[in-house]
Amino acid sequence: MKSTSKINWVFRGIYYLQALLIAVASSLAGASQADPAWIAEHAELFVKPHHFLLQWVWLAWILTLLIGVLEIVRRKIGSPWVWQCIHDILDAYKEKVFEDSRFDRDNHHRVTLFQHKKFTLKWWFIPKRGWLVPVERSGWTNRKRRTWFRAPDDADKAEGIAGMIWAMGKTLTVEDLPEINKKTIIMDRDAIANYAKQTWVRENWVRNRLNKGYCAERSFCGFPIENKGKPWGVLVLSSRSPEALANESIEVFDDFVVTALSSLLERKA
Amino acid sequence: MKHWVPINQGTLDLGRDETIRGVHVRVSSSPYDIPRAIRGYYCDDLGKFVIEFRYIEDEPLTKIKADDFTWFEKGSFTGRIYKISIDVDEASAEQVSLVVEEHNHDDVSRVIVDSPMASTAIFENTFERMRNTVDNLIKSKRETDNSRAISAALGQSHESLKESFQKIEN
């Protein structure tokens, strides 16, 4: 999950670094064009700096390339205010959809925005193709939990509710899932298998999560998110309540959410 | 007149129960596939009766001929139907215009047809042709993702249209 303060810090850092690099690259490019004889005659003070800069002119090309790379990185990260707005929208959506459960704990009902990555690196070194990666989540808890779901080009291999929504391109609602917890792993293995089947994930994956102390959500609803007419990701609502998503406000309110998200994603860079 | 009229999504009833990989789920259209507004008018230049749909996002359009009288304009990326035009002149309608107005705050569209030469029969035929073409798309499995939503939206507007026609005739 993106931390708004970290994004803000990195985004601004890259911005200032780019400004510095542009100034240095411009100086080097300017020095290469300047006439040494004219400087010696009219600006004697700059002869030594000019001579120094001429030795590093080759660096201008590398700096220009670096500025370009930093611009790509900055666009990839997205403006901090956009991510803050997206977070606020998800919060508002959650408040609306789970209106009847507003006194429950923050992490009992969640809205998570997943972005589809054609190619990405997990833990910075394992290459992955076709995954849905959570980029923003409602609330202030469980923000560090990052569960990825497979969504490869071969739609038959899509996993999880998010993967299935991506593969189908439609709104999906799954409710009344079996209640499972750490004890169920030994006491009721069928329940684990049933849960895994109904959420299109592997049994081992469910067991591992339960062993880590995670609670399993009992209802899901989600729909695809597009950017400029092309699939971008999915938005998934999840709840520990088995019927929390049997709510008409999902359909009515998603109009506002989808419109706002689409506008923001277009302005992300 | 070419007013956009919001479509009442709550009454489209696009949800259906399906079994996917052995799991029973509720499936409905993507919010992007459901038109947000509709408008209809007679285009003098083209000599065609046009119904347009507005979505959350716009995209480049591609024109496709559905049959001898009907043309679709679909989104190049998504295949969504943005415009349906029917050659009503061919159907003996000389001048037709459609005025669409919003009715109060309940998002129920009211469609008024205002044309001295228009008749209920012509519009019924035109509308039926549009709906049949869209339904055929669904049946023939050349279904675009939003054909069901379009069919439902046309159905919603059709009822309002009937009411309006009756008012004019009276």
Q: pLDDT tens digits, residue range A252-267?
A: 667 778 888 888 887 7
More confident residue, A90 or B118: A90
Residues of chain B with pLDDT under 70: 1-2, 88-123, 138-145, 159-170
Nearest to A258 among B22, B32, B77 (CB): B32
Measured torsion, CA atoms of residues B62, B68, B70, B75, in degrees rounded to the nearest 10: -20
* More confident site: A62 or A142: A62
Question: Which pLDDT value is given to residue A102?
Answer: 64
pLDDT value at residue A74: 85
Give the start-to-end residue ranges of the domains of chain A. Answer: 4-76, 79-177+217-265
Sequence-distant (6+) residues with CB within 8 A of B97 are B1, B41, B42, B113, B114, B115, B118
Looking at the predicted complex, does its ipTM rise above 0.90?
Answer: no
Q: B30 at the A interface (CB within 8 A)?
A: yes
B27 touches chain A (CB under 8 A): yes
Task: For chain A, say whether B13 makes contact (Cβ under 8 Å).
Answer: no
Q: Is A252 on the interface with B (CB under 8 A)?
A: yes
Question: So what's the pLDDT on residue A105?
Answer: 65
Interface test with A, best of B7, B32, B54, B144 (most A CBs within 10 A): B32
The confidence score (pLDDT) of residue B161 equals 53
- Beta strand segments in A71-181, E: 109-122, 126-137, 149-150, 171-174
Fold category of A79-177+217-265 in CATH: Beta-Lactamase (3.30.450)
Specify the DSSP element, H or E, that contains B40: strand B37-43
| Interchain pair A255, B77: CB under 8 A | no
The whole-number pLDDT of residue A255 equals: 73
Q: Nearest CA to B109 among B73, B155, B146, B147?
A: B155
What's residue A253's pLDDT?
61
Q: Give me chain A's average pLDDT, please.
A: 82
Q: Which two tokens stand for residue A254?
A: 């998603």
CA distance B12 to chain A (A): 11
pLDDT in tens, A23-35: 999 988 888 888 8
Determine the distance in angstroms separating the CA of A202 from the nearest CA of chain B, rounded to an integer. Answer: 13
Asked whether A222 and A113 are in contact (CB, 8 A), the reply is no
* A78 vs A208: which has the higher pLDDT: A208
The whole-angstrom distance between residue A208's C-alpha and the CA centroid of its chain comes to: 24
Q: Which of B106, B53, B32, B105 is nearest to A254 (CA)?
A: B32
pLDDT of residue A21: 93
Looking at residues A49-78, what average pLDDT do you find?
88
Tens digit of each residue's pLDDT (9 = 90 or more) over A188-236: 778 888 888 888 888 888 888 888 877 788 889 899 998 888 889 999 9
Q: Which pLDDT value is given to residue A112?
A: 92
Q: Encode A33-50: b = buried (16+ Cβ within 10 Å), e = exposed.
A: eeeeeebeeeeeeeeeeb
What does the alpha-carbon distance between residue A166 and residue A149 come to, in Å, rounded to a whole number?
10
Q: Whole-prediction pTM value?
A: 0.74
User: Could you say which residues from 200 to 239 on chain A have a Cβ atom under 8 Å away from some Cβ of chain B?
Assistant: 200, 223-224, 226, 228-230
- CA-CA distance, A199 to A38, in Å (whole number)? 75
B5-6 and A171-174 as β-strands: parallel, antiparallel, unpaired?
unpaired
Rounded Cα gap, residues B17 and B26, in angstroms: 5
Say what the pLDDT of residue A17 is: 94
3-state secondary structure of A112: strand
**Mean pLDDT, residues A128-146:** 78
Residue A162's nearest CA partner among A106, A100, A212, A224 is A224
- Of A104-108, A128-132, A135-139, the poorest mean pLDDT is in A104-108
The alpha carbon of residue A200 is apart from the nearest alpha carbon of chain B, in Å, by 8
Least CB-CB distance to B75: which of A200, A223, A229? A229
A-B CB pairs within 8 A amount to 68
**d(C-alpha A125, C-alpha A265), whole Å:** 27
SS3 B144: coil
Q: How far does A50 lie from chain B, in Å, by closest CA?
A: 53
Tell me how far CA of residue B19 lies from CA of A119, A172, A202, B16, in angstroms.
30, 11, 19, 10
